[in-house]
Amino acid sequence: MFPLSLRAIGALAASLIFLGSAVAQDTRTITDDAGRTVEIPADPQRIASLHDLFFSVPLIELGVLPVASHGRVVIDGQPFMRSSKMLTGVDFDTAPITFLGTGTEIDPEAVAAVDPDLIILSTNQDPEAFASIAPTVLLDFDRSDKFELYERLAEITGTEDKLKLLEARYAQQLSQLKTLVDTPEISVNVLAVVEGQVRSYRHFAALGRLLDEAGFAMPEAVKTVEFGKYADFSPERLPELDADLILVTYRAEEGETAEDAYALFEATIPGYCSFLEACKNNRLVAIPRDETFASSYSALGSLAYTLIALLAPVPDVPAQ
């Protein structure tokens, strides 16, 4: 074999550079939820995610670490992605993810500074404000089924195989729940006091999906609530929201505790426990709200095991 000349080596190097550039520039076309036709990278590497709960957490579970994300800020000023650390271990302080800001007030210059190759926007943001930075995809986070967003994110990032594994794991967890708990014979409601009203989250987000797919019964008052939605009831209607098990939610990531949830019910509806058979039977249980809200297969699994622990039959142990 003869050694390559310098000219041949240079030509080879040039061809490899060209090939690498061509691969890096491979694109495909999708239609986003605003009906826009967008040309995006075939394999995006630097995604700016402009919603933490519905975009960033699913991306991380799919094995795609965004380069930057929308987030929240706690009282001491520390930014965080809602539910992310509890469900994935990933947050601004544990991974190289740039905090872009909160709410709709995300500065396009802050997004441009992270040099994204794809920007995923939520419904309350203007694609035109970011279009000159990188390809922008708008996803409608107001849709009832938040897990449809999960499917769209897997499509956008080419991680459909990872999603199939997550779905298979959840299907097994769901099957176990239905095997161990007689779900059609047990009614479950999910409540919180919000601005003086009693809010039922029976059909909402991850917990709502699990309760529905497991086949749990529900109070008559919430049967007409649309899937993926919640409903507010006046305090005097509290007895109509009774169930065999009531899960009361509170915002743990913002420092609330179970005691805060119970105290808020008592302050809003004095003697509330006397109006609910679930409470009198010690079947009113406070759980963190953030996990129940997340579009997350880890959340679905955790909630399935929580319901097994709360509702699976326990054998009677004879007194000694």
Tell me the pLDDT tens digit for each residue of 260-282.
999 999 999 999 999 999 999 99
CATH number of 165-311: 3.40.50.1980
- Cβ-contact 57, 84 below 8 angstroms: yes
Distance CA(55)–CA(59), nearest Å, equals 6
* CATH topology match: 28-158 vs 165-311: yes
Distance CA(43)–CA(27), nearest Å, equals 8
Q: Which two tokens stand for residue 202?
A: 């029976």
Distance CA(62)–CA(58), nearest Å, equals 6
Amino acid identity of 156?
I
What distances in angstroms separate CA 13 from CA 17, 125, 226, one per listed residue? 6, 43, 60
Nearest to 251 by CA among 291, 283, 284, 279: 291
Distance CA(274)–CA(140), nearest Å, equals 41
Distance CA(170)–CA(189), nearest Å, equals 21
Distance CA(268)–CA(285), nearest Å, equals 18
The pairing of strands 231-233 and 284-288 is unpaired
Which helix H or strand E contains 212, and what residues bound it? helix 205-214
Q: What is the pLDDT of residues 189-230, one digit of tens each?
A: 999 999 999 999 999 999 999 999 999 999 999 999 999 999
Nearest to 24 by CA among 159, 115, 92, 117: 117
Low-confidence ranges of the chain (pLDDT < 50): 1-23
Which residues 6+ apart lie within 8 Å of 229 measured at CB?
A: 144, 203, 204
Nearest to 289 by CA among 232, 247, 246, 251: 251
pLDDT of the residue at 147: 94
CATH 3.40.50.1980 fits 28-158, yes or no: yes
- Cβ-contact 155, 282 below 8 angstroms: no
Distance CA(104)–CA(89), nearest Å, equals 25
Which residues 6+ apart lie within 8 Å of 215 measured at CB?
A: 178, 183, 184
Burial of 146 (0-12, 13-18, 19+ CB in 10 A): buried
- Cβ-contact 50, 119 below 8 angstroms: yes
- Cβ-contact 241, 221 below 8 angstroms: yes
The pairing of strands 118-121 and 98-101 is unpaired
Q: Where do the domains of the chain lie? A: 28-158, 165-311
- Cβ-contact 130, 136 below 8 angstroms: yes
